[in-house]
């Protein structure tokens, strides 16, 4: 049932590494739905034994993966899983392969002097955020469970340690290809490309170099689609390095991430992003830039560099065109502009300028417009008075449309509920204080239906304090 699938890429790519054994570990959170729907179906004792390092998966050898990466634009030739162990892969329901990776499970050869451990807070954040993002319709890796380790780690003081068990279709990053390009390992890169096609782009049927071009084109499409979903829900990743970018277009590494509240395209939360490289509105540009770094790596598999550059450039241009079309459609859908005329762009720009000037809540503004159209729950989703004049223009623009069609369109893209930053921090504080959180269960249930407009506790909907200066940290 379990197997190791990265060893064929070489010992320098998948380095044998045993996770720490945490004998005092306890299971704090488990995603029962994920456990069941993937076909894993572990019992509680199996969860504890396998994810605490006390037992190895049958027929598997634990590895840490090597990769390169551009970190804030600067190339680092050798990074790798500095606090993570990929303990095995299994084929789940419908033939889908899943990696199981432990994060915070101890130092590896890539730790660069770090302890390889994880604090409880970032582990709780990943559990909440990955589930919420999945429910919001955003492609994502999944957190299977969070375990306490029974030990403390030092992160601006001593705090409880934890292990995150993460599941993903694969853990192949842009940086994975960069590493093999750096090593000029054409054989391993060909094998890695085939692994990715089998996992995520199995409908690619072309052969030879056409297969490489088709793969790159699909990666660009996946990244473009992911960026549009991030913008739709107001997600800010915080550290979009090439080593944090999965080629299959799933969100990974929920370290310094956050949800945008007061609207601004320049919004940044990550404490290490002092230049705003990965600000909310910069994310699509960075995704395209990361794809270009993948193209540079894939040149290794191409006979004619001139032709390859031309083909890769075409895919990058297609990325830009597809994003621009999708971006316009995003605002059309959020505002239920069921057809397009040239004046609509001014209407959209005016709204975004008002939201920026008055720091209006991103989610609640569009939820308010949706509730306004529904003519229900207006008290729960009030519209800011600064929008009164604009609202008259929008109402006049959309008066010819069917309200039912408008509502259906808006409810598909305007969530009523997101994982609010303040509540994430509250839950983390609960776990630090009590080892559990009484409010988390009901909140997680509600987060599974983020596009359902219904009566909800006000603290789930509106920040209770100014989060303009809220900061997030990577957790290492």
pTM of this prediction exceeds 0.95: yes
Percent of the chain with pLDDT over 70: 99
**In this predicted structure, what is the pLDDT of residue 396?**
97
For the stretch 265-312, pLDDT in tens is 999 998 889 899 999 999 999 999 999 999 999 999 999 999 999 999
Is 253 known to sit in a ligand binding site? yes
Q: What pLDDT was estimated at residue 360?
A: 96
99 is in an annotated binding site: no
169 is in an annotated binding site: no
Are 219 and 287 in contact by the 8 Å Cβ rule? The answer is no
Is residue 469 predicted with pLDDT exceeding 80? Answer: no
Residue positions annotated with a catalytic role: 243
Q: Is 293 annotated as a binding residue?
A: no
Percentage of the chain modeled with pLDDT above 90 = 93
The encoded tokens of residue 292 equal 């270009």
**Is the confidence at residue 465, as pLDDT, over 80?**
no
82 marked ligand binding residue: yes
Looking from the CA of 394 toward its CB, the CA atoms found within 13 Å total 23
- Rounded Cα distance between 248 and 219, Å, is 6
Which stretches within 358-398 are classed as H helix?
A: 362-374, 388-398
Helical H segments across 399-420, by residue range: 403-413
Residue 94, sorted as left (phi over 0), alpha (psi -120 to 50) or beta, turns out to be left
The answer to whether the CB of 62 falls within 8 A of the CB of 89 is no
116 is in an annotated binding site: yes
* Cα 162 to Cα 285: distance, rounded to the nearest angstrom: 34
Q: What is the pLDDT of residue 476?
A: 55
| pLDDT per residue as tens digits for the range 223-277 | 999 999 999 999 999 999 999 999 999 999 998 999 999 999 999 998 889 899 9
115 among annotated binding-site residues: yes
């Amino acid at each position: 049932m379990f197997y190791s699938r990265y060893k064929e890429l070489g010992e320098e790519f998948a380095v044998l590494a045993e996770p720490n054994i945490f004998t005092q570990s306890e299971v704090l959170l488990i995603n029962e739905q994920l456990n069941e729907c993937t076909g894993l179906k572990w019992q509680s004792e199996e969860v504890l034994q396998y994810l605490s390092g006390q037992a190895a998966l049958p027929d598997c050898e634990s590895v840490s993966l090597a990769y390169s990466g551009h970190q804030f634009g600067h190339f680092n030739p050798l990074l790798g899983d500095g606090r993570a162990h990929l303990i095995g892969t299994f084929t789940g329901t419908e033939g889908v392969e899943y990696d199981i990776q432990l994060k915070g499970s101890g130092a590896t050869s890539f730790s660069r002097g770090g302890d390889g451990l994880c604090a409880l807070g970032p582990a709780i954040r990943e559990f909440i955020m990955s589930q919420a993002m999945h429910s919001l319709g955003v492609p994502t890796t999944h957190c299977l469970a969070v375990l306490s380790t029974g030990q403390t780690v030092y992160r601006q003081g001593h705090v409880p340690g934890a292990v995150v068990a993460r599941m993903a279709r694969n853990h192949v990053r842009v940086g994975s290809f960069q590493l093999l390009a750096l090593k000029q390992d054409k054989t391993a890169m060909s094998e890695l490309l085939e692994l990715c096609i089998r996992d995520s782009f199995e409908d690619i049927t072309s052969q030879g170099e056409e297969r490489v071009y088709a793969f790159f084109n699909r990666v660009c499409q996946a990244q473009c689609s992911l960026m549009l979903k991030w913008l739709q829900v107001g997600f800010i990743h915080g550290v979009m390095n090439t080593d944090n970018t999965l080629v299959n277009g799933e969100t990974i590494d929920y370290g310094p991430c956050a949800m945008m509240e007061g609207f601004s395209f320049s919004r940044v939360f990550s404490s290490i992003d002092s230049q705003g490289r990965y600000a909310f509105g910069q994310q699509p540009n960075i995704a395209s830039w990361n794809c270009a770094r993948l193209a540079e790596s894939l040149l290794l598999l191409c006979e004619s560099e001139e032709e390859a550059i031309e083909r890769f450039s075409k895919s990058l241009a297609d990325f830009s065109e597809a994003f621009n079309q999708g971006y316009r459609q995003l605002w059309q859908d959020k505002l239920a502009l069921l057809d397009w005329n040239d004046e609509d762009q001014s209407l959209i720009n005016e709204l975004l300028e008002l939201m920026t000037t008055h720091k209006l809540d991103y989610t609640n503004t569009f939820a308010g417009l949706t509730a306004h159209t529904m003519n229900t729950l207006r008290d729960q989703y009030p519209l800011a008075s600064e929008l009164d004049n604009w609202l008259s223009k929008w109402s006049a623009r959309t008066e010819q449309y069917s309200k039912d069609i408008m509502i259906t369109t808006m409810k598909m893209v305007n969530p009523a509920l997101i994982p609010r930053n303040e509540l994430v921090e509250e839950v983390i504080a609960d776990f630090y204080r009590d080892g559990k959180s009484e409010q988390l269960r009901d909140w997680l249930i509600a987060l599974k239906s983020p596009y359902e407009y219904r009566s909800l506790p006000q603290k789930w909907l509106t920040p209770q304090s100014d989060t303009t200066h809220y900061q997030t940290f990577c957790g290492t």
